[in-house]
Amino acid sequence: MKLALIGAMREEIDPILEAVNEYTTSEYAGNTFYECQYGGHELVIAYSKIGKVFSAITASVMIERYKAQKILFSGVAGGISKDLKIGDLVMASALCQHDVDITAFGHPYGFIPEGSVMIEADSDLRSLAAEVAVDMGIELYEGIIATGDQFVASAERKEWIEKTFNADALEMEGASVACVCQNFNVPFFVLRAISDAADGEAGMDFDTFLKSSASVSAKFILEMVARIGH
Catalytic residues: 12, 196
Question: Considering the rule CB under 6 A, would residue 191 count as an interface residue with ligand SAH?
Answer: no
Q: Where are the beta strands (DSSP E) in the chain?
A: 2-7, 24-28, 31-38, 41-47, 70-79, 89-97, 119-120, 140-147, 169-171, 188-196
Integer Cα distance of 176 and 190 in angstroms: 11
Question: Considering the rule CB under 6 A, would residue 50 count as an interface residue with ligand SAH?
Answer: yes
- The nearer residue to ligand SAH, 54 or 111, going by C-beta atoms, is 54
**Residue from 202, 214, 218, 228 binding ligand SAH (CB under 6 A):** 202
- The nearer residue to ligand SAH, 41 or 157, going by C-beta atoms, is 157
Q: What interhelical angle do 174-184 and 52-64 show, nearest 10?
A: 30
- Applying the rule CB under 6 A, the residues between 130 and 159 that interact with ligand SAH are 151-152
CB 172 within 8 A of CB 7: no
Select the residue whose beta carbon is closest to ligand SAH and give its number: 78
- Applying the rule CB under 6 A, the residues between 76 and 115 that interact with ligand SAH are 76-78
In angstroms, give the least distance from the CB of 84 to ligand SAH.
Answer: 12
Radius of gyration (C-alpha) of the chain in whole angstroms? 16
Question: Considering the rule CB under 6 A, would residue 8 count as an interface residue with ligand SAH?
Answer: yes
Question: Considering the rule CB under 6 A, would residue 168 count as an interface residue with ligand SAH?
Answer: no
What b/e sequence results for 65-93 when a residue is b if at least 16 CB atoms lie within 10 Å of its CB, and e otherwise? ebebebbbbbbbbbbbbeebebebbbbbb
- Give the count of residues interacting with ligand SAH (CB under 6 A): 18
In angstroms, give the least distance from the CB of 168 to ligand SAH.
Answer: 13
Integer Cα distance of 146 and 45 in angstroms: 23
Question: Considering the rule CB under 6 A, would residue 74 count as an interface residue with ligand SAH?
Answer: no
Stretch that binds ligand SAH, among 14-22, 136-144, 169-177, 182-190 (CB under 6 A): 169-177
In angstroms, give the least distance from the CB of 112 to ligand SAH.
Answer: 20
Question: Considering the rule CB under 6 A, would residue 195 count as an interface residue with ligand SAH?
Answer: yes
Integer Cα distance of 181 and 70 in angstroms: 9
CB 178 within 8 A of CB 121: yes
Binding residues for ligand SAH, per CB under 6 A?
8-9, 50, 75-78, 151-152, 170-173, 195-196, 198, 202, 206
